[in-house]
Amino acid sequence: MSIIDPRTGNPLTAEPTTNNAGNASASTERPSVTPEEVIIELSAGNIQQVLEASMQVPVLLGSYSPTSSTCTTLLSVLEKLAVEYAGAFLLAKLDIAANPEIGGQLGVSSVPDVKLVSQGGLVDGFQGALPEKEVREWLNRYFPAPGDAPPSPEDQAEEALSTGDAAAAREIYQSLVSQYPEHYAYQIGLARALVAEKRGDDARSVLDNLPPEERDAAPARGVRASIEFSEQALSTEEVAALGERNDSEAQYQRALRQVADGQYDAGLEALLALMKQDRAYNDDAARKTLLQVFDALGADHPLTVTYRRKLFALLY
């Protein structure tokens, strides 16, 4: 369904395209445009024309200060997306230092500030330098995403981690951290990449520098658990040297090695089996390690949900 402007009742966007199966598609192909066609520098001389243009096409008003690095970062994202969305909206950039009276008229209290205007009135907006992925998600509330949209840096980093290229993931997260130093999820992502590179001390340093509320939250605790798995687990060679041993210690060490290597499903299953067989082993180590793995994976991870249920069934 189309997005309706809450002030006028008029459609803000066109109906989504349909795919060959007749199902609604969230993305659409658009003709290419040049930056000059979709990006405008706003001033006292053209603001009236821009507002009038919003009667025909939505306008994104991006207020910024040229001396602010956070503004520069967000503005480059908005400029890229304006071209990528190829005319779905116009981007009107406002230098707030050069045009303070316009900023006052628009109700801009701090920069960066982004407002979506349609039919001459405000529809939505946000303040602060949101990361590109979040800006895309915000835009996609109102405009069908381009069908050829490239993967976000966050998606690229996660793909690199999943394929074992921890160095590439680290480089992406380092770049994101430098651009968005207060977006702490990127620092946690960087720590995860460092753990994958077996640089536990560097990962701890990143986590230790987080604000207390972030440092003690589940995502950071999960990365710390991953560091501990890597440090506590026997090496691959040491596990192989256990041979045919099947006592509780050997079972635990094999499970811990699997967890440290990211083989979470196998490791969780082995820890659960050890709990059933020898609950008292090493002061209930199997159960405690299961809980650490849940922290590392996150509460919403499918394996966490599955094995938390199995653990509950075993205990009660």
pLDDT at 93: 97
Could you tell me the pTM of the whole model? 0.74
pLDDT at 24: 37
Nearest to 203 by CA among 229, 242, 182: 229
Domain 27-146 classified CATH 3.30.110.30?
no
pLDDT at 30: 61
Per-residue model confidence as pLDDT tens digits over 57-91: 999 999 999 999 999 999 999 999 999 999 899 99
| Whether residue 112 has a cis bond before it, omega within 30° of 0 | yes
pLDDT at 29: 59
pLDDT at 262: 80
Give me the residues of the chain with pLDDT under 70, please. Answer: 1-31
pLDDT at 247: 97
Alpha-carbon torsion (43, 45, 46, 52), positive or negative? positive
DSSP 64-118: E-TT-HHHHHHHHHHHHHHHHTTTSSEEEEEETTT-HHHHHHHT--SSSEEEEEE
DSSP 261-301: TT-HHHHHHHHHHHHHH-TTTTTTHHHHHHHHHHHHH-TTS
pLDDT at 21: 33
CATH architecture of 233-315: Alpha Horseshoe (1.25)
pLDDT at 8: 45
Residues of the chain with CATH 3.40.30.10: 27-146
Helix (H, G, I), strand (E, B) or coil at 228: helix
Per-residue model confidence as pLDDT tens digits over 1-24: 233 343 344 444 444 444 333 333
Fold for 153-231, please state it: 1.25.40
Residues of the chain with CATH 1.25.40.10: 153-231
pLDDT at 17: 41
